[in-house]
Structure 1
Amino acid sequence: MPDFAARRTVMVDSQIRPSDVTKYSIIDAMLNVPRECFVPDGREEVAYLGENIPLSRGRVLLDPRCFAKLLDALDVQPNEVALDVGAGLGYSTAVLARLAEAVIAVEDEFAAEAERRLSDMGVDNAVVISGTPAEGARRHGPYDVILVEGGVEQVPSALTDQLKDGGRIGALFMEGNLGVARIGYRAEGVISWRPIFNASAPVMPGFATVRQFAL
């Protein structure tokens, strides 16, 4: 049986700390949430590699560095409510649940499986909503923090409207094969985006720019 606890430590020491992620809460969460329990069955051996893990078409589990740096920039507080958009099999939700007061995860393909895995891990301050990620979960908002778990070309206003004034949203904006992670800050109803670091991930369904074709 592989020593996954040792692999978590190596992941943090080789991928997270060298990327200037220093917040103890993030380090602690990523040391304690078993990533191998939230990857597709049979893929446990690659759980701690420094790369995105495919889940389905256009969907990945973000690589540890990208995920941790987004969390670091979002600076999630213990009294905040977070929306996890496109939670996949639940890893990001489990980590966020250790940082926030409560987490609402919205997921379409893997909602039931994510809920089961989070329940197996004893995560009791997170709820998985079966729905379209790009539409968020308005009924439970507004949110202090929104994290989009994949690439985007645009973020629909239906989603950003669910962010509180003073709240933050993190997303990975893709242009072709190149991407820039940005944090959006909402003030007086307007979101200002700030670039944080370079990364790459497939564009999630519902987050592509609508192309206009002319004859």
Structure 2
Amino acid sequence: MSDFSARRVMMVDTQVRPSDVTKFPIIAAMLAVPREAYVPHSKSEAAYVGENLEIGAGRVMVEARTLAKMLDALDVQPSDRALYIAGGLGYGAAVLGQMLTSVVMVESDAGLAGAASATLAGQGVSNVSVVTGALEAGSAGAYDVILIEGGVQEVPEVLLGQLAEGGRIAAIFMQGALGLVKIGHKAEGRISWRFSFNATAPVLPGYAKAAAFAL
């Protein structure tokens, strides 16, 4: 029997804290959520490795460092309403759920969404709602925080429209093999993006830049 709780502490101490993530709610959430429960069963031994983990359907669970730094940069507050895009098997949404009253998670792959719902229920997580639908469509509402777990080339206007005034959005903008995590702040209806740190992830369905027509 693997001692996953010890690995969880080691993950926080060697991957999260050294990345300048010191906010107590993030540390506490990552210590509380059993990452091994949210990966494919065959990959449970790799749950705490410090790199992106393939979870099927061409998708990855981003490394713990990336998720922690995104949450840190979003400056999540307890009263925030949150939308989690491309939640995969539910780990990141469960971590965010530890910090907030409720989280809406959107997942386009029915298999991943079903597994996420089952795992969340099995873990007693009742404040994360899983919506099966197109990632680029988001979920109707006005959210203070939107986190996209995966690569993007551009963020659809419909999703930006679901960000509340004063809200923050985090995404990994991929430029070839290079990835830049940027945080967008919404003020007076406009989004201003700022670079936060480097990370990579495969570009998500619905988030590739439309090819320009050339004559």
Give the TM-score band, short-chain normalised: over 0.9
Amino acid of the structure 2 residue aligned with 1:131: G
How far the C-alpha of 1:54 sits from its partner, in A, is 1.0
3-state secondary structure, aligned to 2:96 = helix
For 2:167, the equivalent position in structure 1 comes to 167
My pick for the range that moved more, 57-66 or 85-94, is 57-66
Amino acid of the structure 2 residue aligned with 1:11: M
Kindly, what percent of the aligned residue pairs are identical? 54
Matching of residue 121 in structure 1 with residue 123 in structure 2: yes
- Could you tell me which runs of 5 or more consecutive residues in structure 2 were left unpaired when the two chains were aligned: none
Distance in structure 1 (CA, Å) of the matches to 2:202 and 2:208: 10
- Contact 1:166/1:186, CA 8 A, preserved across alignment: yes
Distance in structure 1 (CA, Å) of the matches to 2:58 and 2:67: 17
Question: For residues 150-204 of structure 1, what are the alpha-carbon distances to aligned partners after superposition, in whole Å with 9 as ceiling and x for unaligned?
Answer: 0100000111100000000000000000011000000111000010001111111
Distance in structure 1 (CA, Å) of the matches to 2:74 and 2:95: 13
Q: What TM-score, normalized to structure 1?
A: 0.97
For 1:111, the equivalent position in structure 2 comes to 113
- Contact 1:143/1:167, CA 8 A, preserved across alignment: yes
3-state secondary structure, aligned to 1:214 = coil
- Could you tell me which runs of 5 or more consecutive residues in structure 1 were left unpaired when the two chains were aligned: none
How far the C-alpha of 1:76 sits from its partner, in A, is 1.1
How far the C-alpha of 1:214 sits from its partner, in A, is 2.9
3-state secondary structure, aligned to 2:195 = strand
Amino acid of the structure 2 residue aligned with 1:160: L
For 1:82, the equivalent position in structure 2 comes to 82
Aligned CA-pair RMSD: 0.9
- Contact 1:58/1:203, CA 8 A, preserved across alignment: no
Matching of residue 69 in structure 1 with residue 91 in structure 2: no
Question: For residues 3-30 of structure 1, what are the alpha-carbon distances to aligned partners after superposition, in whole Å with 9 as ceiling and x for unaligned?
Answer: 0000000000000000000000000000
The correspondence of residues 15-30 of structure 1 with structure 2, limited to 5 A, is 15-30=15-30
Distance in structure 2 (CA, Å) of the matches to 1:4 and 1:166: 38
3-state secondary structure, aligned to 2:166 = strand
For 1:194, the equivalent position in structure 2 comes to 194
Amino acid of the structure 2 residue aligned with 1:87: G
Q: What TM-score, normalized to structure 2?
A: 0.97
For 2:56, the equivalent position in structure 1 comes to 56
Distance in structure 2 (CA, Å) of the matches to 1:189 and 1:213: 30
Matching of residue 207 in structure 1 with residue 207 in structure 2: yes
The correspondence of residues 130-169 of structure 1 with structure 2, limited to 5 A, is 130-138=132-140, 141-169=141-169
Amino acid of the structure 1 residue aligned with 2:37: C
Distance in structure 2 (CA, Å) of the matches to 1:145 and 1:100: 11
- Contact 1:58/1:205, CA 8 A, preserved across alignment: no
Matching of residue 42 in structure 1 with residue 42 in structure 2: yes
Amino acid of the structure 1 residue aligned with 2:91: Y
Amino acid of the structure 1 residue aligned with 2:178: L
- Contact 1:182/1:196, CA 8 A, preserved across alignment: yes
Change in Cα spacing, 1:58 to 1:42, as seen in structure 2 (3 Å) is: closer
How far the C-alpha of 1:126 sits from its partner, in A, is 1.2
